[in-house]
Each structure stands twice: as C-alpha cells, then as structure tokens.
Structure 1
Amino acid sequence: MTKLAVENFSFRYREDGPEDLKQINWAPTPGSFNLLIGSSGSGKSTLLKAMTGLLPQFGGAITTGQITLDDLPIATVAPFERAKRFALLFQNPSRQFAMATPADQITFALENIQTDASLIPEQVATALAAVDISTLANQKLMTLSGGEKQKVALATILALGSEYILLDEPFANVDPHARHELMHLLKTLQIEYGKTIIVADHDFSGYTTLVDEVYQLSNHQLTQTDASVLNACITANPFFPAPSRNNLSPLALIDVRIDMAGRNLLQSANFALPAGQLGLLSGVNGSGKSTLFAAITHQRSYQGTITWQGQDSQKIKLKQWAQLVGLVFQDALDQFVALTVADELTLSQQHSHLPDYWTDARIQRTLTQLDLAEHTNANVYQLSGGQQKKLQVLSMLIMGQPVLLLDEPLAGLDMDSMHQVLDLIQTSLRDNQMSALMISHQRIGLKPYVDYEISLHERHLDTGGTQ
C-alpha cells in the first residue's frame, strides 16, 4: 500500500503574496474515507493539487516542508507512476478532458498509464457502467450536461484503479439521486477494494455514515475535527410554490421545443417569467436545463417562439438581445474576459445598464461583503472556485440586464458564501426590478431567497399548471 505524507508543508501562489497553505501535516490512513472541509478560498483545491504533484509544477512555490510518496519527494516520481497511485477529479471536470467522447477519454487515460491494449475495452465498459453512463459512451463531451461530465470524470478515475482517489467538489453539479449513488460507490471502493478516498466538499449532506475522518482547513491551516460538525448542517430540503401568473416580465416561451444530438430535450414549453422574482429551475442531470438557458439566450437553436413584450425575439438583433437577457455560465472561467478582478469589474461597469446603482462605493462595499476586497488585484485564474463564482455573479449583476439566467451559481460554495451570493442576488433583483431564473441542485438554504420553482422533467416544463 502506497504511503502518502504531507510534512510541514507551506505553499504560496504569488512570490510576494501570503501563504495559501501553512505548515500542513497530514498522513491519511490507507484505506480510509476522508472529508476535507473549509470555506471558499481556504486552500482545499490547492492542497489536493499539491498532494498529486500538480503544484508547484504548474504554479506557485513551496516555502517549507514537502510531500512524499513512499518516502520519496512526489516531484521525483514519474507522472505515469503517480497516476497509478493517485487520481484527482478537478472541481471543473471539463478541464481534464482531452478527447471527444467519454469512451475515448477513458481509453486515453488508460493508455497513459501503459495499460495492456487488450484489456482497455473491457475496463472502459466497466467504468462507464459503474456510474450508469454506458449510453453516453460515444456522445460528444461538449454536448453533455455539467453533471454528466462529472460522471465521465469519475468514471475515468475509476478506470485508472488508483490507490488514492481525490475529489474536489465532485457533486457540485450533480442531482441529489446521482449524488447519493456516487457517494455510496466511493464507499464501496473503499470497503471492497481498499481505496483511500479524500473528498473536498462544502455540502455535508450524506457523509455522516460514510466518512472515517473529517479534516478542516481554516486560516490556511489543517486540523482534524469531530464528525459531529456534519450533523449541524443537516436540514430538510425545502419545496417552493409554482410561479405567479400575475406581474409577469417581458420574457415568455410559446410552444418551445429543443432537440440536441438526436435527442428531444423539451416538448412544447409555455412559460412566462414572473417579474422581480428569483425562480429555481430544477431537474435531473441531462434533462436539458442548461440547454434551455442556451436557447433562451440564442446560443442554441429551438423551435417555437421566445418573445419579449410580445415580439418574436428572433427579430431582435443578437447584440440587443444580449442586453436584455444575461446568462451566468456554469463555468465561471468561461465568463471572464479580463485578467484581474479589478479589470473584470471595470469592464462590467463600462457596459452596465445600471451605472447610477453600481457606483464605485457600492461595488467596494459588495466586494467586502463577498470577502473579495483583498483580492482586487489578483489574477482571476488564481482565485479559488468559490471566489470565482462570487466574482462572476457580481460582474453579471453589474451588467444589469432586466432578465438574468444563472446556471449553477452556487456550485462549490460553502454555506456562508452561498448566503452572501443569494443576498446579493435578492437585493439586486428587488432594488432594480430584475427577474432571474436559477439552476441549482443545492436546495438546502434556499428557502428565504427563492420565490417559485419550475421543473424540467421527462421533456416537459412543469410550471404547476398552464400559463
């Protein structure tokens, strides 16, 4: 059994910046299930990347200590040998895909660890079946939902057969049923195959009976904590009313149908967006939620009619349409167009529809509320996943389109950060009479913020009745 040890390890991304990890000591028990918790920006992703040898190879510098693999500095172990022992699922699975389809991606991963070619087809099939995506084997990865991509990334990790399986927010874009199945699959890998599981997660639900040890990163330092901390966050999932049919926004869908990659995702949807409210769009992975948003913003073809104040939106120029309906992408990095936090916000201000509202003073106050005030000069690509989400939502709210669609804006956020973002959204909608619809698999903590829910289920948009 491979022995992993983190010894007095300190690390920083910027030479003149503060330490992002401080004096970390950790030797996970082989064959154990470990949960790594901590607020956004505490260093969870950084620690996992360092443990697999990606850092400092691809950025930053070690200031003290080392990470060893069987008593050898991890940097001295050949990458393909590390891959046999460690597998890391990134916070954004798309960042680790190199091939066009799930089957090709898993094949490529197995080839890179020099697997016997005659064994690869069976191992690919077994990995896909383990996460219940055999039917997606030859689908184009770019056509899959965020949750489906996450399953592909996990299938790739399973195929590698690594002793240590490290997962960074692996269920952020996964529906509750799939989350439950995948968590118990990880537990099976631990119990039956002796795998060491290390999961970084902000959502504690479902872990109480699974984990052996809980570790917390706070102030960039690691401590072991009692598993009872997980119980404090267990609450019932709330349910929300149907959307109001009064006081509607200018946006409406009339008999909208969406097909993609030979599949019908949506049949004859009729929906008028309520004005000045935040709605929740729910549905299982792959049901077409993100595709619906892409259709509404004219990034995906559709049949039927999407109207604005009764006018067919196809008759509105694309540039003008983008000024009416904004989209917060599922992947924050796809949204950014500037290098630093300050530059990104300045660009949004320059194109804002609400310049009198989003003053410099208000933006500064908001940055403080989001715990981003100390990062204004930081490179957006060096922020944590949670910090990137906060910046992304703020940047789009500053743009001030009358209608805003938010695709998984809460993924990867700890509970405090989630409330910060939802407070910001709610205040902006109320103050500026904007309307918003949000995709989120996270339901816990939404009760004070969400006004209504619609569901995309079995190719139909369930609005609680006929609009």
Structure 2
Amino acid sequence: MIKIENFSFWYSGQNKPSLDRINFQISAGEFVVIAGRSGCGKTTLLNCLNGIIPHLLTGRAEGQVIVAGQPVAEVPVHRLSLKVGTLLQNPEAQFFTLTVRDEVAFGLENLGFSPDIIRERVEAALIAVSIQDLADSFLGELSGGQKQRVAIASVLAMQPQVLVFDEPTSDLDPAGKRTVAGLLKKLQADLKTTIIVVEHDLAAVGPMANRLVIMNEGKIVLDDLPQRILGEKSQVIRSLGLKVPGTMEENHVREGTPEPVCHVETGRNTGKAVLNVDNVSFTYKNGRQALNGVSLELKAGEFLAVAGSNGAGKSTLAYLLAGLYQPRKGRILIRDRELSQLRTVELAQEVGLLFQNPDNQLFCATIEKEVRFGLQNFKLTEAGEVIIWLLNSLGLAQLSGRHPQAVSRGQRQRVALAAVLALQPKLLVLDEPSTGQDWGHLQEMMNLLAELRQRGTGILMISHDWDVITGYADRVIVLEQGRVIFSGTPRNGLAYCGL
C-alpha cells in the first residue's frame, strides 16, 4: 500500500534534512503508530504520504514515496484525497463551512456523491465519533475536543483506503480518547483500512497498533511490535523523552466513592488571592449556557488545575479570565480589582493566556520576534535576559530565527507560552498546554512553571492529562455542564472521576 525508498526532505532554506534517508513499507490493513519528540519529522512524514509535500509545501526531496502503486509526486492532491484521508494536527486548519453537518458533508459534495449517499455517510460518521447531537452547531462555538471529533468525522465520511491521523486524541478527554482509539481499531478490523497515526500518547493507541515506529531527528530509529518496543526497548523510549505507558500515573490508586453532588475540599494556603471568580455564568448567543454559577479562588504561588469532559465550559472560563468574554452574571476580580475595569495594557501584565490552539496567537516573522512582541507592543522595557532564559528553558534557542509556522505544533505551543511569559503576568491561564508535547519537553515546560509559581505566579491550567495534574497541581476543580462538581486534591479528583 505504501512504500518509501531512501527518502530525504529539506524545507526551503534548511541545511539539515527534516527527513533523513527514510526506508519503510506499510501493507494494506496495517495499523501503524509513529512517535517521537516534537520536531523530529513525524508530521513532515505524514505530509509526504498525502501529497501536501511536495505539491503544497515545497523543498528539496531525494528518493520517492509511493502510495497505492503511484508516486505521490506525480499525483495531484485532490486525486490522492480519494485514497488518503488526513486529519491535520490543527483540526481548524481543514474546516471550510460553518456548521458541523455541512463540514462532514463538504468533501463528499465536492466529489459529486448523491444526496442520499451523503446523508447516509454523514449520519454514520457523526454517530461513530458521538457528536450527532452537535450536527447543527456552529463550528466556532465548539470546544477544541469537539472540533477534533468533527475533523475525524469529516475524514471518515470519505471512506479512503488509508487514514492518516496527526495527534487525533490530543484535545480529547479520557472518554474521547477511548472512543477514538476503539473507532480506529474497528475501522482497521472491519474495513481493513490502513491506519497511520502520529501520537505522543502511546497509552491511547500504542497497544492497538500492529507496528510502532519511533523517530528521532528525521530518522526511523525503531520499527517493531508495540509490545516489544514498550517492553524490551522501553529504556530507548525514555531516553528519547517519551512516556512509556504504565510507568507514570496510568495506574492511580482509586480511593473513595464518587458523590452525586459537588464535592469540595480545602486546598493548601499560599499567598494573597490573585483571582476571585464569584458566581459567574455565561451564555452564548445561541442560548447554550457554557458556565452556570462558577466560583473559585486562586492564590499567589498556587497551581490550580481545571478538568472536565469536552464541552464542559473549561475554555470559556479561560476566555472570561483573559477578558475576551464578559460574564452574563457574577464578577471576576484580579488581585482585588474588577477585571472589567482593567485597561488592556494592565490586563496583559496581570493575566497571561495560552490558547489551546497556539496558531491563534502567533503572527510574527520569527520566533524571537514573537517572544518580544508583547513587550514592544505595549512599549514596555525589554528584559533581554528574560527572553534568553525563556528561549533556553523551553528548548527554543536553536529555533529563534525560524518562522513560528515552520516548526511543529508542540514547538509552536512553547513559542506561544514564551511570548505570554515575557510579559511576566501575575496570573497564568493555560488551556491544554500539553497538546503536541512529548513527555520530555512537557516536563521541561512544567518545571519552568514550577519555578514561576515559586516566584508568586498563580497558575490555572486546563488539562485532560491527569499525569500532569497529579504531578504538579495543588488543587483541581472538575467542571461538568458548566458547573463545578468537584474541588479538592488531584488524587481525590482522580478517584471522584473514576479514572
């Protein structure tokens, strides 16, 4: 089905290849997972399979890539799409319509399928990823995880021979990860679909694969059965900064019985409050209530995690704290001042927001300019040593002259974080910061945040990653349908959620 022969690829302006003499084959019906550190060439490899490289992203290539008996370089992208379906790392980058149903139908309509077939396939795809109740929703009103499911449904509706997924579970809650993993396995088993998945979370899809491929610096360093690599060769995995399933927090101690009402525990006492959210509610223009009577407090130097299923209201809360939305009810205080009364320049130095999708806040020509932009934009004194410290701490120093969109999703996430931290905000709001991060870089990021909290920064982190929550947070609140249903220690929150 897929054959790659001695293939190397250099992006324009690069001296070092992003792919270096790749040789491997994938047979029809195989389920292959590709893993590796951020920036090691995984997404570049996928783009060589679907024709994005060389038809849309140009550079210098050697060797060849063959899909279904045809050289990718000789087949137009629109023809390849009939054979290779792609889920991009950023699902929003492949949206073309306004509503969920229209988006899932878009590809089929463009290929001229009959209305009956389109309706049948759209409904089946929506049901497959459990979003049939969102069919008439606007894409702009969905959570990151819900958008991920829409993108997956759009690919499934096309019924291609090969499915190429770039981080398909990255924005999903634990239930969503299980749903997608089970769906991929079912597609491979029932339809004999060839499935290729790039994924950092090996616990989600690794055990289901026929093969596990590990990349490092543009090369394939391991290619074997998952159980062999994750068992006999697990030390190699760790040395590359990847997390081996079952070795961190996959097997948590589950104590206590979940209660049917909101459960509240007392968190540790730190400094003065940097954030007070008092009975806040928010309703979107379509009438959907995203938050209902949320109250919380965050003190200086405290690390609060916010968990909950996709669509529970977590990102909406983040937007409210950054002043992007205004509450319909209740009030938000930042260091005892009404958030609504803060001027933009004041708010930017008080609250730093890392979006779930870093591409929403990157727009400069180089990574270094991106990190400096906030200081220059607000005409604040540049702290050169802080910029250097951030670039080094987040593994970006060697990339500082490159365009932000020319690096991996995980690297872009760290660029956006560095740009936010350059303003040295008193309150840091992080929306799924682990997205696209390998375990090694994630630990470096979290250690940096731990250092900031020692300096008095209050941190509110939205996350589905309970390994990170239990490892770094003092407290966790769990949202469900816009309400706080739990507030307490991470381990008790884990037990409360039954994970």
The residue number in structure 2 matching 1:284 is 309
Using the aligned pairs only, state the percent identity.
29
Q: Which residue of structure 1 lines up, in the alignment, with residue 161 of structure 2? A: 163
What is the TM-score of this pair, normalised by structure 1?
0.93
Structure 1 equivalent of residue 427 of structure 2: 403
Write out aligned runs for 1:252-331 (5 A): 252-260=276-284, 261-302=286-327, 303-331=329-357
Structure 1 442/354 Cα, relative in aligned 2: closer, same or farther at 3 Å?
Answer: farther
Rounded to whole Å, the distance in 2 between the matches of 1:245 and 1:61 is 55
Q: Which residue of 2 aligns with 1:230?
A: 230
Please state if 1:338 is matched with 2:338: no
One-letter amino acid of the counterpart of residue 304, structure 2 = G
Q: Distance in 2 between matches of 1:242 and 1:354?
A: 38
Contact 1:254 1:271 in 2 (8 A): yes
SS at match of 2:200: coil
Residues 389-421 of structure 1, C-alpha deviation per residue, up to 9 Å, x if partnerless?
A: 111112211111111101111111000010011
Counterpart of 1:49 in 2: which secondary structure?
Answer: helix
Query: Do 2:321 and 2:332's aligned partners in 1 also have CA atoms closer than 8 Å?
Result: yes
Q: Which of 463, 481, 495 is matched with 1:440 structurally?
A: 463
Secondary structure at 2:205's aligned position in 1? coil
1:397 maps to amino acid: L
Residue 119 of structure 1: CA displacement? Answer: 1.4
Number of the residue aligned with 2:8 = 10
- Contact kept in structure 1, 2:85 and 2:163, CA below 8 Å: yes
Which is further off, 406-415 or 302-311? 302-311
Query: How far did 1:352 drift?
Result: 8.4
Q: Which residue of 2 aligns with 1:151?
A: 149
Letter paired with 1:344: E
Q: For residue 31 of structure 1, what is the aligned residue in structure 2?
A: 29
Question: Partners of 2:253 and 2:353 in 1: how far apart?
Answer: 25
Change over 3 Å in CA distance of 1:335–1:266 after alignment to 2: same
Is the aligned partner of 1:417 residue 2:441? yes
Contact 1:243 1:451 in 2 (8 A): yes
Alignment match, 2:92: 94
SS in 1 for 2:448: helix
Cα separation, 2, equivalents of 1:370 and 1:172: 20
Distance of aligned partners of 1:67 and 1:236 in 2 relative to their CA distance in 1, 3 Å threshold: same
CA change 1:451–1:353 in 2 (3 A) is: farther
Write the distance in 2 (CA, Å) between the matches of 1:352 and 1:430.
Answer: 26
Q: Is 197-206 or 262-271 further displaced after alignment?
A: 262-271
State the shift of 1:97 in Å.
0.2
Aligned CA distance change for structure 1 residues 327 and 77 (closer, same or farther; 3 Å):
same
How far apart, CA to CA, are the structure 1 residues paired with 2:470 and 2:274?
26
* Between 63-72 and 382-391, the greater mean CA deviation after superposition: 63-72
2:20 — aligned with what? 22
User: Which one is further off, 381-390 or 15-24?
Assistant: 15-24
Q: Which residue number corresponds to residue 220 of structure 1?
A: 218
Contact 2:87 2:151 in 1 (8 A): yes
Partner of residue 132, structure 2: 134
Q: How does 1:200-219 map to 2 (within 5 A)?
A: 200-219=198-217
What do residues 239-291 of structure 1 show as CA deviations (whole Å, max 9, x unaligned)?
A: 99753466342321111111123222222112111221221110000111001
Asked if the contact 2:313–2:480 (Cα under 8 Å) also holds between the matched residues in 1, the reply is no
Change (3 A) 1:129 1:211: same
Task: Mark the runs of 5 or more structure 2 residues left unpaired by the alignment.
Answer: 232-243, 255-264, 489-499
Using the alignment, how far apart are the partners of 1:179 and 1:138 within structure 2?
Answer: 23
The change in CA–CA distance for 1:70 and 1:458 in structure 2 (over 3 A counts) is closer
CA distance in 1, matches of 2:132, 2:363: 36
Matched, 1:381 2:405: yes
CA distance in 1, matches of 2:215, 2:318: 36
Aligned-pair CA distance for 1:331? 1.0
| Aligned residues of 1:31 and 1:194 also touching (Cα < 8 A) | yes
Q: Distance in 1 between matches of 2:425 and 2:88?
A: 32
Please say if residues 352 and 400 of structure 1, whose CA atoms lie closer than 8 Å, have aligned partners that are also in contact: no
The Cα shift of 1:458 comes to 3.3
Alignment correspondent of 2:75: 77
SS at match of 2:55: coil
Give CA-to-partner distance per residue, 1:137-173, whole Å, 9 cap, x none: 1111010000000000000111000111111011111
Q: Which of 59, 62, 67 is 1:61 aligned to?
A: 59
Please give the per-residue CA displacement for 1:325-359, whole angstroms capped at 9, x wherever unaligned: 1211111111123110121122244468996xx84
Q: Secondary structure at the match of 1:121?
A: helix
* Superposed CA offset, 1:95-127 (max 9, x none): 000000111111111122332233111211111
Q: Is the 8 A contact 1:353 1:400 kept in 2?
A: no
Tell whether the 8 Å contact from 1:397 to 1:425 is kept in structure 2 after alignment.
no
**How many equivalent residue pairs?**
460
The alpha-carbon deviation at position 456 of structure 1 amounts to: 0.8
Q: 1:288-321 deviations in whole A, cap 9, x for unaligned? A: 1001111122212321111234443223334432
Q: 1:242 to 1:22 in 2, by over 3 A?
A: farther
Matches within 5 A, 1:234-253: 234=246, 235-237=248-250, 243-244=267-268, 247-253=271-277
Kept in 1: contact 2:274–2:426 (CA 8 A): no
| Aligned residues: CA RMSD | 2.2
**Residue segments in structure 1 that go unaligned for 5+ positions in a row:** none
